[in-house]
Structures are given as structure tokens and as C-alpha cells.
Structure 1
Amino acid sequence: MTKFNDLPSDDNSYLFDPKILKDINWENATCTFKNNISIANPGDSLVMRPLRDDDFHQDYLELLGQLTKVGKIEEETFFKRFEEMKECCGTYYIIVIEDLKNNRIIGTSSLIIEHKFIHTAGQRGRIEDVVVDNEFRGKQLGKLLVQALVLVAKKLGVYKISLECKIHNIPFYELFGFKKDEQSFMIQRFEEMY
């Protein structure tokens, strides 16, 4: 059975080098986990890793469908978007939790890095698309996904990290040090294409 430390760093099928997850300092976590849950040990028969180009076949898009509308995406479209994200080296960090028993993705979250001119040409992080499969909720996996991305963002040297969430989720995100800001978040939605 594949273990976290066995993930090859030279495997070109990953969105980003798995070594980034291996090398984060788990001692800097701001929240605690029961049962020794960590990036290296997300649970029985589970592995946390970067998104891979073949995750289309492991129900990745179906999982995202539990969060929001996904639309009809063919394998070719998935692979093309994956390659576009990968070419933006240092911008997209999508992690997944794979259930090795059933060969499917049961959790995911994304860290997007914005490269700026402000803050001495600094980087800003944004966490998005946090979702855990209905069957696996309540097992600390959402907490693990967010904590991992916060630690990755720190390792990458962002000057700030943010996320959008519903009001009832604010206490959950406060566990990781997120605070409500005085700024107002505004949005403009355009008609969906599908």
C-alpha cells in the first residue's frame, strides 16, 4: 500500500512536487488532531497528495460536485486544464485525499498563489474549493486539508492568506488563525456558460 513518504518527487503526473507536502513543519499547526492524524497519516487506507493528471478517473469532479456546480467536463478538457495549471509553476497547489481501498478521491482543497508587485513583489495565498465526501465527514479531513494548505502557504512565504466562507463556517476557519477583516468582500457573477 502506498504511503505518503513513498510518493515519488520525480513523477511528472502531479500538479506540484509532493516534496512540498513532505517538507512542511507539522509542529507549526495551529490546531490539534485526534488519533495522530497528520499529512503523513490522514487515516486508514487514506493518502494525502497533490492532484494528479489521472484523478479524472478517481471521481475528483464528482467530489467537487458536492461543493458546487461543476458542469459536464470531458477527460480531454480535464487534462488540458490540469496542464494549464501545471504550466503556471508556483501558482496552483491542489491537494487531495485518496481512499486507496476504493481508488477514489474523497477530499480536496486548493491554494492559489497570486504573484504581486506590492509587498516587495510578494505572494498572496487564497484557499478555495474545500470539500470532503459526505461519507467521510466528521473524521477531521477538512481540518487536515485546510491546515496543510496554511502550512504550505507559510512555507512558500506568502505575506497574507485569505478565503471566502459562509458565516456559519467562520468558527471552523478561526481554528487556523483566520480573522474577519474590516474590508467588505464584493462579488459580481456572470451568467454561467453551461
Structure 2
Amino acid sequence: MAGESSDYLFDVSILRSLDVSEIERRLTLPLGASVLAPGPGLVVRPLSLLDYSKGYTSVLEQLTAVGDVTEKSFKETFNKMKSCENTYYVTVIEDTNTGEVIGTGTLLIEQKIIHSCASRGRLEDIVVSDVYRGKQLGKLLVLLLTQLSKTLNCYKVSLDCKDSNRPFYEGVGYKRDEGNSNFMVIRYR
């Protein structure tokens, strides 16, 4: 894997130690591939301090407006996130043949007082480069981060998505929370 372990947002051993047997059953991976190496030259790993230069923000732009993110502001934000241990699990898929980040997803762990001071997981910013879509990489990211939330003992994991993306998320086990499926927001930008 590229980069030093200190360059990663979280310890890569967390991903390596996950029980991925259920994920493997739900995906059709190419021969010789695995959850953390899902195709020729593809590697699933934590976000790295070096990923700004590997097109991380370009992939995010295929999901939403990213704004003006300089390398300096990327590194500052990365370090703020890293200082919040056991909170941010930004995971990327890198094509090591091109040196580009081609997919990403975030598991955010929210500490709660309710449920006996349990943790809640939230999936955010799931996107795969349009060039790589149709290879089950988005499904892989969602299943992997969902499994990570379970391994980290979250009492639940949730996500917000556009109506048009609901069938995708329902296909990997997510469902509307009856009586609690309203997404409310106040936007400042």
C-alpha cells in the first residue's frame, strides 16, 4: 500500500482485520480479487495525506460541489480529522496503475449519551469515478463501511441520499426508518 502508515487517516489494520466474508458473498469479484484488492491494480485503504495529489477532490466533485480546496487546506482538514481518534473513517479506492483515487466513502462515528453511551455510524460521501462505475465498487464501499460500523459496535448506521439513489442503498440492506424518514436541513452555503 502506498504511503507510510502515519500518512493514513486511520490504522490500515482496522480494514485488514474486518470479517469480510459476508461482503464477499454479496459481491461478484473478478477472479483473484478480494475486498481490499477488488480488481487489477485496485487497492482499498484509508485516506492518505498524499491523496490530494491523487485526485481525491476530483472524485468528490462527481458527487457534490467541493469548493476551493487547496493542498494546504486539505492537509489542515486531514490533520484535524486525524486528531479526532475513532471518529473519521474515510476510505478510498486507489488505482495503483494510474496513481489515482477512483472512489471514496466515509464512516463518521458519532458518540451518543443515549443507548447507554453508544456510538452511531453515518455513511457520507460515497462516490466512484464515472470511469469505474458498474464494477460494484460503490457497493463494496458501502458494505465495507457498514461492516466497519458493526465491528466498531455502533448501535445503528444511517445515511442520507437522493431519492434516485434509494434503490441502490436498499439493494445493500438499507431501508427507510418508518416514522423517522424525514431529512431536515438548514443550509448556510
TM-score relative to the length of structure 1: 0.90
Q: Is 1:30–1:175's contact at 8 Å kept on the other side of the alignment?
A: no
**Pairing partner for 2:119 from 118, 123, 129:** 123
Amino acid at match of 2:6: N
Q: Which residue of 1 aligns with 2:145?
A: 149
For the residue of structure 2 that corresponds to 1:124, the secondary structure is strand
| Residue ranges of structure 1 left out of the alignment (5+ in a row) | none
RMSD: 1.7
Superposition pairs for residues 30-179 of structure 1, below 5 Å? 32-36=26-30, 38-179=34-175
TM-superposed deviation, 1:33: 1.2
Amino acid at match of 1:33: L
Whole-angstrom CA distance in 1 between matches of 2:129 and 2:105: 12
Q: Is 2:36–2:45's contact at 8 Å kept on the other side of the alignment?
A: no
Whole-angstrom CA distance in 1 between matches of 2:65 and 2:109: 23
TM-superposed deviation, 1:168: 2.1
TM-superposed deviation, 1:180: 0.4
Amino acid at match of 1:19: S
CA deviations 1:15-64 (Å, max 9, x no partner) are 00111111111123396111355422211110000000010100001111
TM-score relative to the length of structure 2: 0.92
Please, which moves more after superposition, 181-190 or 119-128? 181-190
TM-superposed deviation, 1:159: 0.2
| Residue ranges of structure 2 left out of the alignment (5+ in a row) | none
Whole-angstrom CA distance in 1 between matches of 2:172 and 2:92: 19
Amino acid at match of 1:88: C
- How many residues align? The count is 185
Whole-angstrom CA distance in 2 between matches of 1:133 and 1:111: 19
Matched, 1:25 2:19: yes
Q: Is 2:82–2:88's contact at 8 Å kept on the other side of the alignment?
A: yes
Matched, 1:189 2:187: yes
Percent identical residues: 44
Whole-angstrom CA distance in 2 between matches of 1:172 and 1:109: 15
Taking CA–CA contacts closer than 8 Å with sequence separation of 6 or more, which of the two structures ends up with the larger relative contact order? 1
Q: Is 1:30–1:176's contact at 8 Å kept on the other side of the alignment?
A: no
For the residue of structure 2 that corresponds to 1:28, the secondary structure is helix
